[in-house]
Structure 1
Amino acid sequence: MKKALALLMVAMAAWTMTDCSQNKQGRKADGPSAQHAKGGRGQAMEGQSRAVKPGDGKVNELTTADFKKKIMDYEKHPDEWVFEGDRPVIIDFYATWCRPCKMTAPVVEELANDYRGTIDFYKVDIDQEQELAAAFGIQSIPTFLFIPAKGTPTLQMGAMQKADFEKVIQSVILK
């Protein structure tokens, strides 16, 4: 019985990891040339810019165009990191159909509120912003990009608990 339960748990863990490393059609995203999923209610479409208030204690949607203006223009600086912001940033690369992303979202929202005015929090829907996801080689979600005000950003893949976020925030962003 214990062996069967252990085998079931391993199978479920593998299925969950596979489920969120593919897009909803079951294929890996092919980057900017892949066909975009249709935008739903309240989602920003590629190329459109929404007014957001960084540091307002919320997790704001980030488009590719906004990323290039507010975070880093990777087309202008393809070989070096040139941060455009004045505050540290955490970006959540997610998809609306991803269960681990849905489980992590409330934790990220809580952290955004906890670090209001200190760290800007954004989220990027990889189905809507495929160019941006491809620029960072995002193939598994959720993936988090931790960007200090000065220094090198760090990518962290997989769902994280609040304590794990706090450790990365202290070691990468607030060091």
Structure 2
Amino acid sequence: MATDRLDEVLDAAYDCLTRYGVRRTTMDDIALRMGVSRSAVYQYVRNKDDAFRQLAARLHTQALRRAREAATAEDAPYAARIRGVLAAKLDLVRRLTGDSPHTAELLDEKARLFGDICGTFTAELRHLLTALFAQADTPATLEPAEAAEVCLALVTGLESAPDGERLLGPATDALLTGLLSTPALSRR
């Protein structure tokens, strides 16, 4: 039950974030959105910053869970697994940048409140991709960690493309043709 209430607090914080941004949102705004007193909100979060940190952590954790599921889908070819990891990042970014200009704050690696959460998320994706490229036997001219960086650069570019979701498949396929040996594309 406490988890449900925390989720309500975080949902209300997200709604306030979309409307006002981090700086202009108050604990009263979050409480009002929930229909409870401010003291009721303090039962679940220490303050506004804590609410937004927990919100950022929740969103990044959900995206990381999807990335891990894609990476560990052993019945899928490596290309599909890599595409799934990249899609988890792209989906998170597109959702947050699409909901409001303010929600993009949750993606800022330089932000005081969220930087470490964003940095950890990207590091985890890099780790998943590096492991996949190591398993898939990348060409000798490229280290698995370098292949992971190339993929992260690709998805970062697609984040600002108007039709990035549509382009993810063809862009990933084209990129992976060079990063994976041909047998690895169909290997499981």
Same fold (TM over 0.5): no
Q: 1 or 2, which has the higher helix percentage?
A: 2
TM value normalised by structure 2: 0.28
- Where is the strand percentage greater, Structure 1 or Structure 2? 1
Q: TM-score, normalised by structure 1?
A: 0.30
Which is higher, the Rg of structure 1 or of structure 2? 2
